[in-house]
Amino acid sequence: MEKQRFRLRVNGEERECLAPVHHTLLEVLREELGLMGTKHGCELGECGTCTVLVDGQPILSCLALPIECEGREIRTVEGMAGAELHPLQRAFAELGAAQCGYCTPGFLLTAETLLQKSPKPTRMEIAETLAGNLCRCTGYLKIFEAVELAAARMRGESPPSPLEAPIEVIRG
Amino acid sequence: MMRLPPFRYHAPTSAREAARILGDHGGDAMAVAGGTDLYPNMKRRQFEPKVLVGLRRIEGASTIRANGGLRLGALATLTAIAEDAAVRERWPVVASAAGHVASPLLRNAATIGGNLCVDTRCNYYNQSEFWRASIGYCMKKDGDVCLVAPGSKTCWAISSSDTAPVMIALGATVSLIAPDGERQVPVAQLYGRDGIQYLEKRPEEVLTEVQVPDLRGWRAVYRKLRRRGSIDFPLLGVAVAAKLGRENVVEDVRIVLGAVHTHPVEAKDACVFLRGRALDAESIEMAAGIAYRPAKPLDNADLVYAWRKRMVRIEVARALREVAGLPTGDIPPPAHA
Amino acid sequence: MAETPRTVLDVIGRPLLKVDAAAKVAGQTVFADDVVLPRLLYAKLLRSPHPHARITRVDVSKAAALRGVHATLVGAELPIPFGILPVSQDEHALCIDKARFVGDPVAAVAAVDEETAEAACRLIEVEYELRKASMSIEESLANADARIQDYGPRGNVHKEVSYDFGDVEAGFAEADHVREDTFFFEGNTHLPMEQHAAVAACAPDGKLTLWSSTQTPHYVHRAVARVLELPPSQIRVIACPNGGGFGGKSDPFNHEIVVCRLSQKTGRPVKITLTREEVFYCHRGRHPVRMWVKTGLKRDGAITAMHFRTALDGGAYGSYGVASLYYTGALQTVTYRIPRYKFEGVRVFTNKPPCGPKRGHGTPQPRYALECHIDKFCEDLGIDPGEWRLRNALEPHSVTANHMYVRTIGLKKCLETVMQRSGFQARRGRLGSGRGIGIAASSYLTGAGLPIYWNAMPQSGVQLKVDRGGGVTVFCGSTDIGQGSDSVLAYVVAEELGVRVEDVRVVTADTDLTPVDLGSYSSRVTLMTGNAAIQAARKLRALILGAAARKLEVPLDRLRAASRRIWDAGEPEKAMSFADAAVLAESEHGTLGAVGSYRPPKAVAKWKGSGVGPTPTYSYSAAVVEVSADRDTGIVRVDKVWIAHDVGKALNPMLVLGQIEGSVYMGLGEALMEEQVFRKGLHKIPSMLDYKSPTTLEMPPVESIMIETLDPEGPYGAKECGQGPLLPVIPAVANAVHDALGVRIDETPITPEKIVAALEGRYRAPEMPGFRYPESVRVEPLEPSSLPGPEAQAVTR
């Protein structure tokens, strides 16, 4: 198979790789660049699992070609955390919004773009933004709450940590 | 992992060059815009082009310009259109249709040109190579029968564009650039009458722009029926554009149905019926009863086709009521929304 | 087994981070498809394009000759059958002489990359002789001569059962009112976001390591050893964290065995990752079940007798099917008083991907039928359906007609809570046209009482090791599929030893390193591994606190331990660190370690099929669902769900809420849109686009309330929460639709076209297949002397 040299800017780093032109961004990220944080659930654009950001927009890496991404800024889940977790990652962890964790990178990246545009999103805005990312574990509710919590923290507010807030249980 | 078949990739910077490359390779080349329709089809081997011509490097291909009319570069993404301030203000139905396609993630890559040219769909066709081999291929790809209508000489794959019915209802046109010329075609004339040859566009022609006329004085709506609030293709799309005079008398109206045939269907008889009448509860019911007749859903999409056919009447009536400013009959949104 | 619940808890009961939360949000969890090894080869399977065919020739020579191909594999090379249940060892790694459904794997290739392996598969020549395919129960019964499997009582019947628990006819004779209904629950699938993947590496010494997305590494270990004819000591199975399971990764699978063999053949590691379509062919999902139920009632609503019939469409292989069949009859009795009960069931083979266990395993279908049936007879009798459920709920310490022992039961509290919070009684029937509210309740197991392979050994084992800095490592065979089982181990050990959760390292799901735990199925993990961990930790605690007591000169029973400190409860300044105490203990006793294990109490049931149904403790749930329905389109929208779940004790309430909400979500999908359906011998919609999994926009607000009944058998009183809360949701939706529109859809999913048909009187209720159930076995109620303890009461009226 004829391979081509690609120069991709991923998480702020210039990366070079050799790959056939028909290998998708998903394949190249995972198989050539070792960025396994990008997962895949269908490879047909139907589930949102492989979401990455290209020039700040969430797209499906299973339906993007590296050749179409050269010169553009690619961001994967590996680019979200520095020494500390991104506020979204922290909130997802605290609320148990990542159960199996497989769809989580896609949700995090999609949510990140929402919070850049809309620092105080309504529940409906969150649901609409995340409507292309499927999750089978959570029923989405903890994900919604996590996005709201992260948004509040990113606005500089100090909402109570879900790890300290009381949760109602009833003695049966 | 579902993977693409191998191809060579060209990224011309002008539409003319793109058309020339397409023309030079004959049937071996295909154009790709956002790739959200073509790439899944290629992964399932519905298409195995040897050459892909990427359109996104074409200069100005994604520009949105709103002066008197609206000019949408064919490579404008559906997100860009749905979020464009001028489009939302002056052509809200265009923003609405664009915003109802697939999912937010797909709309970030999918383009208006791509959605107008989206391949027709059928649940005997949009399956993997393994699945299609197993059932025995259909005439749209590799076979010679229509699996949903075995007696049919033509393919019954469904036109599944959300934007096409709206563009037809609005009287929009598209520019097609060929290696040796350019033509403007009404969107209403862009579609063929067969699920295979579904576009009246030569393979080498490149769709570069959509022109939507100024719509002052018109009201228009698009309603989409699908199982889930996102991701799904339309089970039915209803576009209505109407010019209403005093006391809601219909001066002009266009009703266009999506996802009920191999092409968008103009409900012309219903429009003839409505012209000159006041758009009220009674005329709306009558018009809906006429409008649903040309819909020909078959058992090749989600849910039962008899139900899909029946919904045409209901959704047309609701669309007309929305245009008339009457209560649509939809269930009210939940308290939490 | 567990000791009296402790009164002061430092770790348990709090919302804590999961131990793997940071890795998961950082995208660094290593799932099976993320395992990359040097010299890795990639495998692909060639699958049968025919639903039922004899295989007369398989020729892999052209594939083997393709450049880049390292090995091929055909069924004849692996002739030993396997299967999850000892009674249905009916699968082969690759079909040998027969293919039984479209997608049944026939041959395999290992090559330098996936594309080459796939190209090679296309070069394999297979000749098939087509046989009559049976795609429904009726077809399978009619095509008895075209047998799909060569075992089972006759034709395509896989298993049939019939039991009378008490004098059922007498019960019906006593009734003032008798009602019969028929229901159908359509099949559906797990659809975990992660597609199954496996990597096998055969070392130069012949030892084999398999990484797989499996919920049951222990059973995979057994199956691989059996089929490859290797001593288990030569095989190591590591279950990677699962990207969702829901029961779909609980069987040993063809592809796992295939990569092991291909790795043996090539001497190189081999990976396989299934496509989404292939995941649909693996299936093992919800059985389509036809059900008929007849209930006799007194005027006041008391049940005198119930007769329940099920017919399961099993697909082409056994899988867990025999258990699934029994489960369709086992748990009707553990919610409400049913003094006499008859169960008849049959599972039939069809030429479809095998059905198996999906969240709620075999019980959502009858629960749906029963809870809709209850609403119907309540309407007949003019009794409020919420009131009926409250009045007829079982009491604690009940022993049911089919000998199931219910020790603690929070059902009434669940019902009261959801009814009160939703305003159920005041609002039912009064929400106006197109809006409705419905209720249902349910029960589920906290772990199957018996292991799949009957033996006297524990079902769960835990081993602990202490390092010299005060860190503790837990070793356990359990598998984290996202539910948080690794975290539960860490919480329990931290609680018992008085260290912090972050001091505990968890090593799980590795057959070389960890003691056996049977796997993540039947909601068994928290209770069983929790109890095993408590036992191990208390042994270790005795050593370490004993050393501390001697050093501090304080009686052992006065010592408290929490958050890395050990101190005298009477004189708190007398204290030392956990790490120092551990050093003292190691100096005194040598290397520190402890093991613990758990075996469920012996069931009291005395009849042959009673291996299915008993459990250490039952969980309970009740749900109220509110819907809006469109009379013209038949489209239903769920506006709100209230759900209460008797979780025994919420070890981490945040994680419990997550399990409840996820269960509600999955239940709503099954109620309204999810279905695994077939056409012309093929899966009709094997894709994430066409198989309708609800999006964010379908998910309503959910009010979840945890009820704690502190079951003595559970760790700190805990019961399960991962499956039970799904059960009431589906019938509550159906009951709400009835309240909204006045029509009943007695099948799932409740789709718009069915509602429109029902509103016009065109809806046809499902029918039972014509099947003569076998002669019934009569089982009498337990004698008082056989009851489990003095408080136990048999349900006799």
Rounded to the nearest angstrom, the gap between the alpha carbon of residue C635 and the centroid of all alpha carbons in its chain is 30
Q: Which residues pair with C531 in a beta bridge?
A: none
Kindly give the pairing relationship between strand B181-186 and strand B173-178.
antiparallel
Q: What is the largest CA-CA distance in chain B?
A: 61
Identify whether the C-beta of residue B129 lies closer than 8 Å to the C-beta of residue B194.
no
Cross-chain CB nearest to B231 (options A65, A67, A132): A132
| Chain-chain contact of C699 with A140 (C-beta, under 8 angstroms) | yes
Burial label, C194 (beta-carbon count in 10 A; 0-12, 13-18, 19+): buried
Q: What is the mean pLDDT of residues C726-743?
A: 98
- C321 phi, psi to nearest 5 deg: -50, -40
* Residues B193, B198, B202, B206, CA torsion sign: positive
Cross-chain CB nearest to B329 (options C628, C632, C681): C632
Residue C395 sits at the chain A interface (C-beta within 8 Å): no
Identify whether the C-beta of residue A6 lies closer than 8 Å to the C-beta of residue A17.
yes
| Chain-chain contact of C695 with B331 (C-beta, under 8 angstroms) | no
Cross-chain CB nearest to A110 (options B2, B105, B230): B105
**Full-model pTM:** 0.98
What are the tens digits of pLDDT across the range C26-65? 999 999 999 999 999 999 999 999 999 999 999 999 999 9
Nearest Cα neighbor of C602 from C451, C406, C449, C781 is: C449
| Chain-chain contact of C696 with B133 (C-beta, under 8 angstroms) | no
Q: What is the mean pLDDT of residues C294-313?
A: 98
| Chain-chain contact of B330 with C115 (C-beta, under 8 angstroms) | no
Identify whether the C-beta of residue B55 lies closer than 8 Å to the C-beta of residue B16.
no
| Chain-chain contact of A139 with C655 (C-beta, under 8 angstroms) | no
| Chain-chain contact of A132 with B102 (C-beta, under 8 angstroms) | yes
d(CA B46, CA B125): 8
d(CA C74, CA C426): 65
Q: Coil, strand or helix: which one is C247? A: coil
Q: Of the ranges A87-96, C177-186, C519-528, C601-610, which one carries the lowest mean pLDDT score?
A: C601-610
Chain C environment of A21 (Cβ under 8 Å):
none
Residue with the two structure tokens 């999409």:
B301
Q: What is the mean pLDDT of residues A5-25?
A: 97
Chain A environment of B126 (Cβ under 8 Å):
none
Alpha helices in chain A (DSSP H): 25-27, 66-69, 87-95, 104-117, 123-129, 141-154
pLDDT higher than 90, residue C5: no
Cross-chain CB nearest to C697 (options B3, B123, B229): B229
Cross-chain CB nearest to C695 (options B126, B230, B306): B230
What is the arrangement of strands in the sheet containing C405-406, beginning at the earlier edge strand? Answer: C405-406, C398-399, C793-794
What confidence tier does C7 reach under pLDDT thresholds 50, 70, 90?
Answer: low
Nearest Cα neighbor of C620 from C356, C396, C375 is: C396
What confidence tier does C797 reach under pLDDT thresholds 50, 70, 90?
Answer: confident
Nearest Cα neighbor of C262 from C124, C115, C111 is: C111
> Given phi > 0 = left and psi -120 to 50 = alpha, else beta, which region is B276?
left
What confidence tier does A1 reach under pLDDT thresholds 50, 70, 90?
Answer: confident
Share of chain C above pLDDT 70, in %: 99
Cross-chain CB nearest to B40 (options A44, A68, A123): A44
Chain B environment of C635 (Cβ under 8 Å):
331
d(CA C77, CA C315): 25
Cross-chain CB nearest to C49 (options B130, B230, B336): B130
What are the tens digits of pLDDT across the range C248-302? 999 999 999 999 999 999 999 999 999 999 999 999 999 999 999 999 999 999 9
**How far is residue C127 from each of residues B314, C79, C279, measured CA to CA in Å?**
51, 19, 25
- C753 phi, psi to nearest 5 deg: -65, -35
Q: C348 Cβ partners below 8 Å, 6+ apart?
A: C137, C140, C141, C156, C157, C158, C311, C312, C313, C314, C769
| Chain-chain contact of B104 with A128 (C-beta, under 8 angstroms) | yes
Q: What is the dihedral of CA A88, A91, A96, A98, to 10 degrees?
A: 10
Cross-chain CB nearest to C410 (options A40, A101, A172): A172
| Chain-chain contact of A51 with B105 (C-beta, under 8 angstroms) | yes
In whole numbers, what is the pLDDT of chain B averaged over residues? 97
Q: Which residues pair with B207 in a beta bridge?
A: B176
Residue B153 sits at the chain A interface (C-beta within 8 Å): no
Top residue of A99, A148, A149 to mutate, by most chain C CBs within 10 Å, is: A99
Annotate C549-585 with DSSP letters as a single string.
Answer: HHHHT--GGGEEEETTEEEESSSTTSEEEHHHHHHHH
Q: Which residues pair with C707 in a beta bridge?
A: A170, C646
Q: Give a three-class secondary structure readout of B7-19.
A: CEEECCCCHHHHH
pLDDT higher than 90, residue C8: no
Residue B334 sits at the chain A interface (C-beta within 8 Å): no
Top residue of C696, C697, C707 to mutate, by most chain A CBs within 10 Å, is: C696
Under DSSP, the state recorded for B30 is E
| Chain-chain contact of B40 with A68 (C-beta, under 8 angstroms) | no
| Chain-chain contact of C654 with A46 (C-beta, under 8 angstroms) | no
Annotate C71-139 with DSSP letters as a single string.
Answer: EEEEGGG----B-SSTT---B-SS-SSEE-STT-EEEEEEESSHHHHHHHHHH-EEEEEE-----SHHH
pLDDT higher than 70, residue A6: yes
d(CA A26, CA A18): 14
Under DSSP, the state recorded for B208 is E
d(CA A91, CA A88): 5
The alpha-carbon gap from B222 to the nearest alpha carbon of chain A, in Å, equals 18
Q: Looking at residue C539, what is its pLDDT?
A: 98
Burial label, C577 (beta-carbon count in 10 A; 0-12, 13-18, 19+): middle
Chain C environment of A93 (Cβ under 8 Å):
17-18, 21-22, 24-25
Under DSSP, the state recorded for C190 is -
Looking at this predicted complex, what is its ipTM? Answer: 0.98
pLDDT higher than 70, residue C1: no
Cross-chain CB nearest to B331 (options C50, C628, C692): C628
Chain A environment of B11 (Cβ under 8 Å):
67-68
- C347 phi, psi to nearest 5 deg: -115, 130
What confidence tier does C433 reach under pLDDT thresholds 50, 70, 90?
Answer: confident
pLDDT higher than 70, residue A44: yes
Q: Looking at residue C3, what is its pLDDT?
A: 43
Q: What is the mean pLDDT of residues C648-675?
A: 98
Kindly give the pairing relationship between strand B218-225 and strand C341-348.
unpaired
**Helix, strand, coil tally for chain B in percent (to 5):** 30, 25, 45
Q: Looking at residue C6, what is its pLDDT?
A: 55
Top residue of C695, C699, C741 to mutate, by most chain B CBs within 10 Å, is: C695
- Contacts A–C by Cβ distance under 8 A: 209
Residue B293 sits at the chain C interface (C-beta within 8 Å): no
Identify whether the C-beta of residue C217 lies closer than 8 Å to the C-beta of residue C519.
yes
- CA-based R_g, chain C, Å: 27
| Chain-chain contact of B304 with C47 (C-beta, under 8 angstroms) | no
Q: What is the mean pLDDT of residues C706-715?
A: 98
| Chain-chain contact of C277 with B128 (C-beta, under 8 angstroms) | yes
The answer, yes or no, to whether the previous bond of A87 is cis (omega within 30 of 0) is no
d(CA B67, CA B64): 10
Top residue of A68, A69, A103, A113 to mutate, by most chain B CBs within 10 Å, is: A68
Q: Looking at residue B337, what is its pLDDT?
A: 63
What are the tens digits of pLDDT across the range C381-407? 999 999 999 999 999 999 999 999 999
Identify whether the C-beta of residue A142 lies closer than 8 Å to the C-beta of residue C657.
yes
Residue with the two structure tokens 């339906």:
A63
What confidence tier does A138 reach under pLDDT thresholds 50, 70, 90?
Answer: very high
Q: Looking at residue B334, what is its pLDDT?
A: 87
**How far is residue A103 from each of residues A93, C359, C601, measured CA to CA in Å?**
14, 19, 39
Angle A141-154/C653-672 helices, nearest 10 degrees?
A: 130
In whole numbers, what is the pLDDT of chain C averaged over residues? 97
| Chain-chain contact of A100 with C646 (C-beta, under 8 angstroms) | no
Q: A140 Cβ partners below 8 Å, 6+ apart?
A: A127, A130, C665, C696, C699
Compare all CA atoms of chain B with the CA of A51 and give the residue at the minimum distance: B105
Identify whether the C-beta of residue B239 lies closer than 8 Å to the C-beta of residue B112.
no
Q: Looking at residue C2, what is its pLDDT?
A: 40
**How far is residue B304 from each of residues B299, C348, C678, measured CA to CA in Å?**
7, 27, 14
Cross-chain CB nearest to C698 (options B126, B228, B335): B228
Instruction: Please report which helix (H) or strand (E) contains residue C777, including its range.
Output: strand C777-779
The alpha-carbon gap from B36 to the nearest alpha carbon of chain A, in Å, equals 6
Strands, E, within B227-334: which ranges?
236-244, 250-258, 265-266
What are the tens digits of pLDDT across the range C367-380? 999 999 999 999 99
Compare all CA atoms of chain A with the CA of B232 and give the residue at the minimum distance: A46
What confidence tier does C4 reach under pLDDT thresholds 50, 70, 90?
Answer: very low
Identity of the amino acid at C150: D
Identify whether the C-beta of residue C48 lies closer than 8 Å to the C-beta of residue C103.
yes
Identify whether the C-beta of residue C692 lies closer than 8 Å to the C-beta of residue C419.
no
Q: Of the ranges C182-196, C633-647, C666-680, C777-791, which one carries the lowest mean pLDDT score?
A: C777-791
Q: What is the mean pLDDT of residues B84-88?
A: 98
Chain A environment of C689 (Cβ under 8 Å):
42, 44, 46
Structure tokens at C689: 């686009």
| Chain-chain contact of B131 with C275 (C-beta, under 8 angstroms) | no
Report the half-sphere exposure of A111 (CA within 13 A, side-chain side). Answer: 35
Identify whether the C-beta of residue C756 lies closer than 8 Å to the C-beta of residue C393.
no
Identify whether the C-beta of residue C537 lies closer than 8 Å to the C-beta of residue C464.
yes
Structure tokens at B150: 């075995």
* Residue count (chain C): 797
Residue B275 sits at the chain A interface (C-beta within 8 Å): no
**Helix, strand, coil tally for chain A in percent (to 5):** 35, 15, 50
Q: Looking at residue B172, what is its pLDDT?
A: 98
Chain B environment of A46 (Cβ under 8 Å):
40, 231
